Amino acid sequence: MNDKIWLRYTINADLYRAFGRKVSKKQKFLMLFNLINQGPKYISYMRLARYHNIRNNKLFAKFFEFLIMRMSVKYGVEIDYRTEIGEGLSIPHFHNITIAGAATIGKNCTILQGTTIGSNLFKARYEAASIGDNVLLGAGSKIIGPVVIGNNVTVGANSVVVHDIPDNAVVAGSPAKVISYKPAVKINQDYKSYEDFIL
């Protein structure tokens, strides 16, 4: 897989999820400098930092890391750009989000404000959650420890997840428990597949 094409595809998928449409090159450029759409901007900086870090372009990687740090301090968001996150990441409300670098997140994940994905010091200090595809993490939700969250899961607002969650589940509470079984709501996920994108 070509890293450069994958970078373009991933950023396009992220922006499609944010805006519900294909974003032009001009709009992408302007987004990097405006004072709105902070979530998509931060995600794009993360993708670029990760790409340049993998390619060992240290100067560019440090530049985007600097931009990420500025936004992190301003908005209270802490996501390590080296975290493994699939395409189609959406952060609609960009405030007070912390994600451990050891976490893995599948494609089309929606993360709302106040979410924390962290470790459990009593179980595994350097391990964090593995989160599947099409997962919605509600406002104020906490994912604690090396739990596995399946595909198509909805985590309710202010829920505290400390156990594994199966596919197609809706969970709520502290500790979170399954309250029903149905797929998560799909928002702006009809973007091109990677195979169609490279044609």
Distance in angstroms (rounded) separating the CA atoms of residues 23 and 163? 38
Residue pair 86/105 in contact by the 8 Å Cβ criterion = yes
Instruction: Say which residue the tokens 């202010």 belong to.
Output: 158
Amino acid sitting at position 156: G
| Torsion sign across C-alpha atoms 125, 82, 167, 172 | positive
Q: How far is CA 164 from the centre of its chain?
A: 19
Q: What's the Rg (C-alpha) of the chain?
A: 16
Cα–Cα dist 151/120, whole Å: 22
Strand partners, 165: 149
Q: Find the angle CA(73)-CA(99)-CA(41) to the nearest 5 degrees.
A: 55
**Catalytic residue flag (residue 93):** yes
Residues 31, 26: Cα–Cα separation, whole Å? 9
Mind telling me the catalytic residues? 93
